[in-house]
Amino acid sequence: MLHRHGNLVRRFFIVGELADQFHHSFAIFLSGGSYGRIHRIHFFKATHSPFGITFDLKAGMKKLLAPYAAYNLLSNHHIVDTINNLDDEQIHREIPSSFPSVFKTLLHLWSVEYVWWQRMKLIENPEFPTAFSGSVMELGNSLVAQSKQWKEWVELATDPALQHEFIYRNSKKEQFKQPVYEMLHHLFNHQTYHRGQLVTMFRQLNLKHIPNTDLIAFYRKK
C-alpha cells in the first residue's frame, strides 16, 4: 500500500508470517523524504483479525494516552467555564438527553471519572455519586480536579502499569478484568460523548459562545 503526502512517500509491507496458531505477522513502515529515499524503518507486530491486520501498539500506549488525558482535562475546563456563566434556571432546566439537564450531565461526568479512579485503586465498594449537595461551581471544580488527577497519573505511568489487568465490578455487580489502558480509552471517550451532549444543550439554551472541544483543536494548539 502506497500513501503520498506532498513529497513524502510511505510504504507498508507485510514481509513475513509465522506459522503458529496466532498467525503473527510483521509489518515494516518505511518513511522518507523524497521518493525512493528511506530515512527510518519501523517494526510493528501485527495480527490477523476478521477485519484485516491490526497492529499491536501496547508499547506506545502512553504516547497516545498522555495527550488524551490532557485533552480531557482542558475540555472539561472549557465546559465548566461555560457552565459557570449560566444562571440557575439554565443549569437545571430540563432538556431531553441521557441526563436531562446541564447539572445532571455535569454530575455524571464527575461521578464516572471518580468511580473509575476508585476501581483502578481497587477500592472494594466504590462510591458512585448520584447527587451532589454543593454548588454547580463546586461540582465543576471537583470534575476538573479529578481530570487533573487522571492526567498526572497517566503522565507518570509506566507501560507495565498501563498494561496491568485489574478486577472490578460494574454498577450491576458484574465482575470484569481488563487492562488499565482499555479502561482509560473508554473513560476519555465516554467523557467526549457527554461533553457533546452538553454542547447540544448549550445551543438549545441559545448560548452565543460555544466552547470548541474538538480533539484536533487541542492538537493544533500544542
Asked if 162 contacts 62 with a C-beta cutoff of 8 angstroms, the reply is: yes
List the CATH number of the domain containing 166: 1.20.120.450
Is pLDDT of 121 > 80? Answer: yes
The domain of 48 spans: 2-56
- Do 81 and 154 lie in one domain? The reply is yes
The predicted-structure confidence for 161-193, as pLDDT tens digits, reads as follows: 999 999 999 988 899 999 999 999 999 999 999
Regarding whether 165 and 149 lie in a shared domain, the answer is: yes
Q: What is the pLDDT of residue 38?
A: 37
Evaluate if residue 23 carries a pLDDT over 70: no
CB burial class (10 A; 0-12, 13-18, 19+) of residue 113? buried
Mean pLDDT on 198-214:
95
> Could you tell me if 116 and 9 lie in one domain?
no
Quick one: 48 and 109 in the same domain? no
The residue-averaged pLDDT of 101-128 equals 94
Residue 166 C-alpha cell reads as 485489574
* Same domain for 143 and 84: yes
pLDDT value, residue 171: 87
> Which H, E and C letters describe 42-107, residue by residue?
EEEEEEEECCEEEECCHHHHHHHHHHHHHHHHHHHHHHHHHHCCCCHHHHHCCCCCCCCCHHHHHH
| Segment holding 170, helix H or strand E | none
The residue among 37, 56, 75 that closes a domain is 56
Triad 216, 153, 158: Cα angle to 5°:
95
* Same domain assignment for residues 184 and 102: yes
In terms of domains, do 118 and 90 share one? Answer: yes
Cα 14 to Cα 26: distance, rounded to the nearest angstrom: 6
Question: Do both 170 and 97 map to the same domain?
Answer: yes
Same domain? For 99 and 114 the reply is yes
Least confident segment among 37-41, 70-74, 125-129, 196-200: 37-41
Same domain, 89 and 29: no
- The model's pLDDT over 29-82, given as tens digits with 9 standing for 90+, comes to 333 444 344 344 344 444 444 545 444 555 588 889 999 999 999 999 999 999
Q: What pLDDT score does 57 carry? A: 52
84 and 35 within one domain = no
176: enclosing H helix or E strand: strand 175-179
> What proportion of the chain, given as a percentage, has pLDDT over 70?
73
Q: Which whole number is the average pLDDT over 131-142?
A: 93
99 shares its domain with 199:
yes
What are the Cα distances from residue 94, in Å, to 99, 101, 102, 122, 132? 9, 5, 8, 36, 17
Q: Which residue has the higher pLDDT, 125 or 113?
A: 113
For the chain, the domain total comes to 2
